[in-house]
Structures are given as C-alpha cells and as structure tokens.
Amino acid sequence: MPRTRQPAHRHVASVTRALTLLDVLADGQEFGTNEIARRTAINASTVSRLLATLAAGGIVEHVPSTGRYRLGMRLLQLGNAVLERLDLRDIARPHLEALVEATDETATLSLPGERFAVTIDFIQSPSSVQSIARVGRPSVAHATATGKVMLAFGEIELPTGRLESFTARTITDHQALAAEVERVRRRGFGQTIGEREEGLNAIAFPVWDDQARLAAIVGVQGPAPRFGSKAMRRAVGPLGEQAAAISRGLGWRRNEAVDR
C-alpha cells in the first residue's frame, strides 16, 4: 500500500468507543459503568471491558470506595508531553495577565480540537468570587464561548447529533446553533450567558497563526452578577487587542485575509 503521509480513513471501532468513554469522563466527574453506558449508548458489558482495559493502562482509575471511574494520571503525563512542545503558552502568558488586569476576571487560553477546545493555560481572577478554570478542561462546542469560536473559525463541522442541554439557555436546536455560529463569524468573537453553567458568562476571540488559521482561542469568563452585559461589552476591546497581539506573536499579520 503506498504511503500518503495522511491518517488512515478506516478507524478501529473499539478505540473509537474507548475515546467516547473518555469524553464522558473528561467532564471531571466520577461515573459508574451504567451511567457511562447510558450517556454513550454503548452496551454496559462493553463499557465494563473498555474501562478495565483503560484502567490497566492508567488512562482511567477505578475508585474502590464508590465503584466509579475517573480519568487517570497517565493522561496527565501524556498531556504534559504535548504541552512541553508548545511555545504558545509562553507567548500568550503576558497577554492573559494583561486581560486579568484589565477585566478583573479569569482569562483562559484553549486549543481547538476535533470535538472540543481544551484549556491549556489560564490565570485566575483576583476577586474572592471566581469562575472555575483548569488545564485540560474541554469546552463544549455548542455551549461555550470558546467552543462557538472553534465552530465559527476552525476547520470543523457543526455537530450533527443531539445537542446536550446544560441549562435553560443552552442552544439545543441545530438551526439556532448555525445562526449563532454565523453571528460569531460576523462580529468576530463568541459569547455565552449562562449556557454551559448557570451564572457563568464568557466571551472569546480567535488567535491566528502565520497562515491565518485558527491556532488558539483566548477568553475571559466570570460570574454573572459581576460579569454581566455591561462588563462583557467593556471586555471586548481588551480581549480583541490581546488576541491580536498573541496572533502577531505567532506570525499573523492583520492584512492577511481570514476566510472561514
């Protein structure tokens, strides 16, 4: 078979199912076998075998006291190996600090993926009441400002399956999501108001590489009583400026066309 330097198009079904399990556990909670089976629509006995295999490799951990499963430390080792080769965090760090100083809210840096954007760095708000951010946390595409930016400007299709509802404000209609993504494209940034978590608001801007492709997403998030509509509008200017500065650090030039 000739080498194409491209990934194979045929996938191994068991590996795909195992990745689906990891997506469930990526929410940061512990889940039992039956709960994972329900969320993934995978047979419970198959879920049990997959979890046992992943646990043997340290990818997930079995919690004896509860009988549930959670992500394992091996993933942290693998993730650190990826992060070590990224200089994006070094470039972005001063700009995250500037955002926190300008807004008094938590600033995040995420990488776009095939289904989620994943937080790779953040700086917490200095306020006593803070929104929660953590490295490795996935941003649900249809329910977060970061995810909407990924859908609008990344090389990714809109989700086709059922859109999970997290709050009463979550977009669960595919036509409504398509319209929202188009609004993000027009105005150049994404925002959410209590769509992923009650009382949590966020805005996010794209970061471009030297080929004018989506390289990262920078965002600001905060609790709704403090980071309401007026505060969000005030944060748009500083966030856009810092996103552009990070992009320039990656070789992007403002006069390059961004056609997505």
pLDDT for residue 85:
55
Which of 113-127, 203-217, 246-260 shows the lowest per-residue confidence on average (mean pLDDT)? 246-260
Whole-angstrom distance, CA of residue 150 vs CA of residue 161: 17
Give 3's pLDDT tier (boundaries 50, 70, 90): low
Contact 22, 31 (CB under 8 A): no
Q: How high is the pLDDT of residue 113?
A: 80
Identity of the amino acid at 166: F
Domain 13-74 identical in fold to domain 86-249 = no
CA distance 175 to 183: 13
**pLDDT for 60:** 92
pLDDT at 102 over 70: yes
Q: Which residues are CB-contacts of 19 (< 8 A; sequence separation ≥ 6)?
A: none
Give the least confident one: 52-56, 79-83, 182-186. 79-83
Please state the rounded mean pLDDT for residues 143-163.
91
pLDDT at 13 over 60: yes
Phi-psi region of 67 (alpha: psi -120 to 50; beta: other; left: phi over 0): left
Q: Where are the domains of the chain?
A: 13-74, 86-249
What percentage of the chain reaches a pLDDT higher than 90? 53
Average confidence (pLDDT) over 72-82: 76
Tell me the CATH number for domain 13-74: 1.10.10.10
Torsion of CA 9, 15, 16, 21, to 10 degrees: -160
CATH number of the domain at 86-249, please?
A: 3.30.450.40
In 3D, which of 160, 156, 158, 161 has the Cα closest to residue 114?
Answer: 156
Q: Provide the pLDDT for residue 236.
A: 95
Confidence band for 260, pLDDT divided at 50, 70 and 90? very low
Structure pTM? 0.68
Q: What does DSSP assign to residue 209?
A: -
Q: What is the pLDDT of residue 257?
A: 46
What is the pLDDT at residue 129?
55
SS3 of residue 240 by DSSP: helix
